[in-house]
Chains A and B, each alone.
Chain A
């Protein structure tokens, strides 16, 4: 071995070092002129590939957690794997909006059908689960479904870019990947939260409502919502939230409409409370105040609330608690939990400033009420 190395050394010493460097320089120059873009493409593809590996891992974990939770809670008679795999592939086609008049009602109908279908599937998968557990399972499966979809879309563009060797397809994918990965990681942490029934960041609004209504008589409202009549600062507040503690967002729009109709429109103000996405640089749990319908989702509830308040010209205020996308679907952070008391103080200020004693107000806490009772 030593002799061989020595021989190689003697050969190397015969060649002038500057000659080798010049040759290498020319070779690199030629290589980068003709294959520069190809090399860049391969490097970018490698980067996308490593993220895709991570997405695949997260997606598989989601599926595994969903199946394990169904087996643990639902005690199914048959193996639920095939049914879960089928569920993960479900899709929803949004209604045609070429003629936008009435599209909200069409969208609401489609969403109702989807919701009913999901509930039936969960019941078949997990017959032993009670209502709360079934709602949590539904949320777990939806998170697994979202992860499956993200993985498939990214894989589609990765393979398309690889097939066509299009730098532009691959580069666009690489540019949005950090944001996609953030979302996927958020859903990954949501999986366990949903499976265990822990409160999530999105439930900040529901938490505010729950704190306000706790200890007061509640009654059910359509659909999947509860309301309590709470005296606050000499006013009568109708506090509304989705019915907990199962994973549920309810139809706050319908609930608000019912309360307004019950009071024949004699509502001094509506205060919507919700978690909102923060901008980078803003503090988690920061509370802000404004006007408008603070509610997420596909827009059906926002539309209904806006229709109801327009009919009676009811002013609407909003209090939001700021958090990022990761915090919204993962177990509630302490900062967000602490912000709930600040939000309640803000609500009281709004009530004092915007209404008179004896007035009736509606306080609606929007968001997923998983892990939050009333």
Chain B
């Protein structure tokens, strides 16, 4: 529980990865050539190369992040489910992770304090809300 499931669909295609890394390598080479051109006092040409190099680096990095985002969006998050167990006699309460077979009002193990049978009183998931956008209405 609490993990994300994965399958072949969540793997990045090696072909796409290869293209991204080749573009990144070429862009870095162009940046190095631009530096050489700058030292050879070919400022205008170096400017063009710098532009191309930076565009290449930006493009490949963007693609890499997009691929990662697509994979993250494909995962089905399994939420954490909490089971609350209560002793009806002494009021002792314990909270644990949900286990298969749990259901509300199921009698479970005896109470640690009074040895009376405990009862599952709640099963729920807690959602941590992202920073909520406040609307004026």
Which residues in A have some Cβ–Cβ distance to B below 8 Å? 1-2, 5-6, 9-10, 12-13, 50, 53-54, 56-58, 60-61, 64, 185, 188-189, 192, 196-199, 207, 210, 214, 244-245, 281, 330-334, 336-337, 371-374
State whether B33 touches A57 (Cβ < 8 A). no
Given that A9-B37, A54-B73, A371-B103 are contacting pairs, would A334 and B9 also be in contact in the complex, using a CB cutoff of 8 Å? no
How many residue pairs at the A-B interface have CB separations less than 8 Å? 107
Known: A54-B73, A57-B74, A199-B123. A373 touches B49 (CB 8 A): no
Contact with A along B89-106 (1 / 0, CB 8 A): 000000000101111111
| Complex CA–CA separation, A43 to B2 (angstroms) | 36
User: Which among B7, B33, B48, B79 is the interface contact of A12 at CB below 8 angstroms?
Assistant: B48
Contact mask for chain B residues 34-74; partner A; CB cutoff 8 A; 1 contact, 0 none: 00110000101100110000000000000000000010011
Question: What CA separation (Å) do A6 and B127 show in the bound complex?
Answer: 59
> Is A198 a contact partner of B123 (Cβ separation < 8 A)?
yes
A337–B48 touching, CB < 8 Å: no
Residues of B within 8 A of A214 (CB): 105
Residue pair B135, A13 in contact (C-beta under 8 Å)? no
Write the chain B residue with the least CB distance to A370: B103
Q: Nearest Cβ distance between residue B7 and chain A, in whole angstroms?
A: 7
| B-side contacts of A61, CB under 8 Å | 5, 7, 76
Q: Given known contacts A189-B79, A244-B103, A333-B127, what 4 new A-B pairs fall within 8 Å (CB)?
A: A9-B48, A53-B9, A56-B9, A198-B102
A-B contact pairs, 27 of them (CB 8 A): A6-B45, A9-B37, A9-B44, A53-B9, A54-B74, A57-B9, A57-B74, A60-B9, A61-B76, A188-B76, A189-B76, A189-B77, A192-B76, A196-B98, A198-B81, A198-B123, A199-B104, A210-B104, A244-B104, A245-B103, A281-B137, A332-B125, A337-B122, A371-B102, A371-B103, A371-B104, A373-B103
| Assembled-state Cα–Cα distance A13/B9 (Å) | 47
Task: List chain B positions with a Cβ less than 8 A from chain A.
Answer: 5, 7, 9-10, 29-30, 33, 36-37, 42, 44-45, 48-49, 70, 73-74, 76-79, 81, 98, 100-106, 122-127, 135, 137
Q: Is the CB of A373 within 8 A of B105?
A: yes
Interface class of chain A by DSSP: helix
Q: Which residue of A lies closest to B107 (CB)?
A: A373
Q: Which 8 A-B pairs have the closest CB atoms?
A: A245-B103, A9-B45, A373-B105, A337-B124, A57-B9, A331-B125, A334-B124, A372-B104
* Residue of B5, B78, B124, B127 with highest tally of chain A CB at under 10 A: B124
Nearest chain-B residue to A214 (Cβ)? B105
Q: How far, in whole Å, are A134 and B103 apart by their CA atoms in the complex?
A: 15
B22 smallest CB distance to A (angstroms): 15
A213 to chain B, nearest CB (A): 10
Please tell me which one of the listed residues B33, B36, B106, B135 contacts residue A373 in the complex, with CB atoms under 8 A apart. B106
| B104 contacts across to A, CB distance below 8 A | 199, 207, 210, 244-245, 371-373
* Contact between chains at A6 and B42 (CB < 8 Å): yes
Cβ contacts under 8 Å, B30 to chain A: 5
Taken together as a complex, chains A and B put the C-alpha atoms of A374 and B120 apart, in Å, by: 11
Contacts of B33 in A (CB 8 A): 1-2, 5
**Shortest CB distance B104–A (Å):** 5
A13 touches B45 (CB 8 A): yes
Nearest Cβ distance between residue B70 and chain A, in whole angstroms? 7
Say whether, besides A5-B37, A371-B103, A371-B123, A58 and B76 are in contact (CB < 8 Å): yes
Report the Cα distance A199→B106, complex, angstroms.
Answer: 13
Q: How far is the CA of A61 from the CA of B10 in the complex (A)?
A: 12
**Contact across chains for B45 and A331 when beta carbons are under 8 A apart:** no
The answer on a CB contact under 8 Å between A374 and B105 is yes
